[in-house]
Amino acid sequence: MKGKATYMITEGGVDYTLGTIKNNYIHYDFDKVLIFLEAKGKNLFGQHFKIYDEDHPIIFKLCIYAIHEVDYCKKLDIDPNKGILLTGPVGCGKTSLMKLIRHLTPHRKAYKIVPCRNTVFNFNHLGYKTIEDYGSDGYYCFDDLGVEPTGRHYGQDCNVMGEILLSRYDYNENPAQNRRIITHATTNLNAAEIEDRYGNRVRSRMRSMFNLLAFDMSAKDKR
């Protein structure tokens, strides 16, 4: 029977133990994961970065999703085959956590953080090629969904992010595709506001695309 080996990630020249490896399976220790994430956060965002105790429950859910911990995902009703829609008030740390959590699994392909405003700016210059580029493939986290302006290209208005989300949904529904694409997003909007912004059709598709993880609306501004 194989013994246990330590699983570590090196950050800033320091080795951080995240758990043990047994029978080719990593058993993570959440307390040790938090230590690593705070160290990584300080390197990414500055020495002021801190993981707050009140955020541990939502960080735990993000972690079990990232590492595909099947039993906990099932217990917490998280589908590893869907993306994450992380919601909460302005400044609660949504973007920082989505930037941070992807470093927990360096052996997997990392998603790119794409500000939704940037997709609209790209559309204004390049037109519908932007929707084709972001809507058909790639591994993205669309940041600040719902605050982007309406796109306009050669006088034609377009709800750019709504079209991108529909395109990514359609991509997965196409039987000719041999793999699914995962979409993540952060937003300050609630479900009703998302429907007002993008319409019922997009909101309906989002239910099948995302696991909804929400900060408490009383979460403090950490900026």
Q: 49 pLDDT band (50/70/90 cuts)?
A: very high
Domain ranges in the chain are 1-51, 57-214
Taking a C-beta distance cutoff of 8 angstroms, is the pair 72, 37 a contact?
no
pLDDT at residue 71, as a whole number: 93
SS (H, E, C) the chain: CCCCEEEEEEECCEEEEEEEEECCEEEECHHHHHHHHHHHHHHHHCCCCCCCHHHHHHHHHHHHHHCCCHHHHHHCCCCCCCEEEEECCCCCCHHHHHHHHHHHCCCCCCCEEEEHHHHHHHHHHHCCHHHHHHHCCCCEEEEEECCCCCEEECCEEECHHHHHHHHHHHHHHCCCCCCCCCEEEEECCCHHHHHHHHCHHHHHHHHHHEEEEECCCCCCCCC
pLDDT at residue 3, as a whole number: 55
> In whole numbers, what is the pLDDT of the chain averaged over residues?
92
* 70-114 pLDDT per residue, tens: 999 999 999 999 999 999 999 899 999 999 999 999 888 899 999
Q: pTM for this one? A: 0.92
Torsion angle of C-alpha atoms 47, 59, 24, 182, degrees rounded to 10: -110
* 111-122 pLDDT per residue, tens: 999 999 999 999
Pick the CATH number of 57-214 from 3.40.50.300, 3.90.220.20, 3.30.1180.10, 3.40.190.80: 3.40.50.300
Lowest mean pLDDT across 74-88, 95-109, 142-156, 209-223: 209-223
The mean per-residue pLDDT over the stretch 159-166 comes to 97
Report the side by side order of strands in the sheet with 183-187.
112-115, 140-145, 183-187, 83-87, 210-214
pLDDT at residue 23, as a whole number: 82
The mean per-residue pLDDT over the stretch 204-211 comes to 95
* 168-199 pLDDT per residue, tens: 999 999 888 888 899 999 999 988 999 999 99
Q: Residue 37: is its pLDDT beyond 70?
A: yes
Kindly give, in sequence order, each residue whose CB lies less than 8 Å from that of residue 17, ignoring residues fewer than 6 positions away. 6, 7, 8, 29, 32
pLDDT at residue 218, as a whole number: 74
